[in-house]
Structure 1
Amino acid sequence: MKKIFTILGVVAITATAFSQELLSNPGFETGLAPWAAGTSSSYTAPTISTTNFHSGTQSAGYTAPTATTGFYQNIPVTAGETYVISFWYKATGDDTDARLWSVYKDAANAPVYTTADAKTDSFRTNDGYLTPAAEWTKHTAEMIAGPTATNLDVAVRAYNGATIAQFDDFSVMNKATMAVSDVSNFDKQIKMNTNLGNALTVILPSKATVNIYSAEGRLVSSNRVNSGDSINTSSLNKGMYIVTVDNGTAKVSRKVMKN
């Protein structure tokens, strides 16, 4: 029984939520703008994909680029504050496929480098590349804005060694405004059948990860699902299970019974 209470305590009552998103169109659901090709004048705009996305219906990226390229969005920032960049990506090829390549700038649009060594600059992937990933993978980096910084180029690059460099669901937050919040609104939007037969059907506000745990705390099923999707539960033994629903910023749980 101790493990049951541990699961409920961990997954049922708290979640992290962001208070203010600083980017416009972070998931490319309205096309590319205000994102644009750059920051070099030779870079080309990414292609908007309606078939390969992390959430929503669209993402942006490159397939087999023939030269270094990338895109960015510029946002205002406050000097001395710490900002957090996160996004989801796919990157495959020769392992030198894509980078986060962002930089703070001053009022004259000159770079403001926070670290003396590029290998410790998290907004430039520590002078490395994103870890190769054939499936959607989240990357997060944070760094303080230097004393003369007034704006931030939120930028990514793709390289000619890549077969694919795809991006979705960007987010930029001032770390000081990020807080733990009540999950009641998200919780109210989640609907599912709590008496299971051969399927668990979940109604969601957006695509989410649905995990099913046994009463002893063992993960027995994990699925990335859209609203209305059904998960096959015919192989589960009779008894109580804990279902968690996680959209990346909030997590809620339900107790269900397999009959």
Structure 2
Amino acid sequence: MKKIFTILGVTAVSLVSAQNLLSNPGFEAGLAPWAAGTTASYTAPTIATTGAHTGTNSAMYVATATTGFYQNVPVTGGKTYVISFWYKSAGDDTDSRLWSVYKNSGGVAVYTTADASTDAFRTNNVYMPSAAAWTKYTAEMPAAADAVSLDVAIRVYNGGTASFDDFIAADKANMAVSDVAGFDKAVQFNTVIKDQITFKLPVKSTVNIYSVDGKLISSDRVENGGSVNTQSLVKGAYIITVDNGANKISRKAIKN
């Protein structure tokens, strides 16, 4: 039951970036200004041109050693910043992680606590669980008073396969709050299912179908007027989520 509650417990508001500090956040222009790093031995990801979360491109690793990529952006000390992105990964749940850090004017990492392991960045820089479908990850971290820049950085570990797309890094104070009720009202689809679910959507969105115990059954990118084939679903109840990257709604559906 806990998993069901988690899926259905959609927040009433969703954060939308007013000013993304990152350039080329979805890799549509290739890799730059993202670069391999932050360690000299790291290699640049492959720019995949199929299967992106949105657009055409995404960044991908099939890692044979610890590696990663990053982009450095200016920040103001003492403010709180939000990083979010979409990822997919395969392996043993220790394949990739956010590995970002604030730096001072000398390029040295700075933290808000004396023990770096307890700093909000370190406690948010956890391993991301394996995810077969595009999954959103968000972390919120305060900057130390002397921070002047932020490395938005990803690590991928030996044996891991991981893809990344649609990054946002923004000052939390400049992030607008949008009411998810508008998105909920605009999304329409049949909740009594036979061979397909047909969608009316304000924008192209990710549609996930879950069993009632929380298992992901399918994930599709769907345009307005598009549909998802449900012929293979057995009779019973399902949870359908629709996510446009800024808002997410969930509804129960029944397959007859």
Give the alignment of 1:1-259 within 5 angstroms.
Answer: 14-20=12-18, 21-65=20-64, 67-93=65-91, 96-124=94-122, 129-135=126-132, 136-159=134-157, 161-183=158-180, 186=183, 190=187, 192=189, 198-204=195-201, 205-209=203-207, 223-225=218-220, 226-227=222-223, 228-232=226-230, 245-251=242-248
8 Å CA contact retained: 2:103, 2:150: yes
Shift of 1:121: 3.3
Partner Cα distance (2:104, 2:254) in 1 = 58
Query: What amino acid maps onto 2:44 in structure 1?
Result: A
Shift of the 162–121 alpha-carbon distance from structure 1 to 2, 3 Å rule, reads farther
Partner Cα distance (1:18, 1:71) in 2 = 24
Shift of 1:255: 11
Shift of 1:52: 4.2
Partner Cα distance (1:102, 1:203) in 2 = 38
8 Å CA contact retained: 2:91, 2:130: no
Shift of 1:71: 0.7
Shift of 1:45: 1.0
Partner Cα distance (2:227, 2:62) in 1 = 30
Q: TM-score, normalised by structure 1?
A: 0.72
Unaligned runs of 5+ in 2: 1-8
Partner Cα distance (2:91, 2:13) in 1 = 35
8 Å CA contact retained: 1:91, 1:162: no
Query: What amino acid maps onto 1:155 in structure 2?
Result: A
Unaligned runs of 5+ in 1: 1-9
Partner Cα distance (2:209, 2:127) in 1 = 27
Q: TM-score, normalised by structure 2?
A: 0.72
8 Å CA contact retained: 1:71, 1:156: yes
Query: What amino acid maps onto 2:42 in structure 1?
Result: Y
Partner Cα distance (1:256, 1:126) in 2 = 34
Q: Deviations over 1:61-84 (max 9, x none)?
A: 21033x322111111111111112
Shift of 1:37: 1.2
Shift of the 57–191 alpha-carbon distance from structure 1 to 2, 3 Å rule, reads farther
Partner Cα distance (2:210, 2:93) in 1 = 34
8 Å CA contact retained: 1:18, 1:173: no
Partner Cα distance (1:230, 1:158) in 2 = 32
- Paired residues in the alignment total 243
Query: What amino acid maps onto 1:64 in structure 2?
Result: A
Q: Deviations over 1:68-108 (max 9, x none)?
A: 22111111111111112122333444554322111111233
Describe the SS at the equivalent of 1:57: coil
8 Å CA contact retained: 2:63, 2:156: no
8 Å CA contact retained: 1:183, 1:250: yes
Query: What amino acid maps onto 2:219 in structure 1?
Result: R
8 Å CA contact retained: 1:56, 1:206: no
Partner Cα distance (2:100, 2:43) in 1 = 17
| Residue range with higher mean Cα deviation, 38-47 or 184-193 | 184-193
Q: State the superposition RMSD in angstroms.
A: 4.0
Partner Cα distance (1:105, 1:116) in 2 = 15
Of structures 1 and 2, the larger Rg is shown by 1
Query: What amino acid maps onto 1:169 in structure 2?
Result: D
8 Å CA contact retained: 1:82, 1:142: yes
Query: What amino acid maps onto 2:169 in structure 1?
Result: V
Shift of 1:50: 2.6
Shift of 1:16: 0.8
Q: Percent identity?
A: 55
